[in-house]
Structure 1
Amino acid sequence: MEHCKNLCAMIPESLHTQVRIEQEKLELTLSRYVEMVLKEHFAMGGKAMDNKTRTLAFQVSEEFFGKIKRHLKKTGLSQKDFVISLIEQALAEAITAEPKEESE
């Protein structure tokens, strides 16, 4: 078993309350809960903490959502990685298709 170290931090009381409620709902010790939250954070690529990220959200039909979920299950991709790869591909194709400005 990996050696453990203590982590202590002051957080706002309202956040503390949210943490304790969820931790108790999951029936985890506080140590296990904090470990889980941190592992999830880093497993998701350590989402930027500089607040320079933006949320992109949209709704789709239940049927379309099911198709996406089945595809993700087959490929092992996360929903986020799948959508980002599609957007990056479309942007790359759009840039390639843009007419080049002629030098005079």
Structure 2
Amino acid sequence: MSQDISTLDVFILDKAYKIACPLAEQDNLRRSAQYLDRKMREIRGSGRVLGLERIAVIAALNISHELLTLRQQHSGDGVSPADIATLMKRMEAALIETGHSGTN
């Protein structure tokens, strides 16, 4: 079964990103981007973290922590190494996409 893919514009910290996404997942992607934007704005607003890359990494860590905590609460069996590897790959891809490959 083939999924229709289209490009969706999302905005994070006033910057536009074009993301390829199945049509059926666009609402979820939009809500995810809005959530990330909100988290990054909170971190930036605290004044304790400077630089877009650092704000993005701290937001990703906070969101990952929220996800893992919820998974542990609902499943009781914790997080697999595959889950952690997947999250790390997604974070690295996001940093590369924004031009922040991890160098300071």
- Scaled by the length of structure 1, the TM-score of the pair is 0.28
Query: Which structure shows the higher helix fraction?
Result: 2
- Scaled by the length of structure 2, the TM-score of the pair is 0.28
**Larger gyration radius, structure 1 or structure 2:** 1
**Greater relative contact order, per chain length (Cα 8 Å cut-off, separation 6+):** 2
Query: Which structure shows the higher strand fraction?
Result: 2
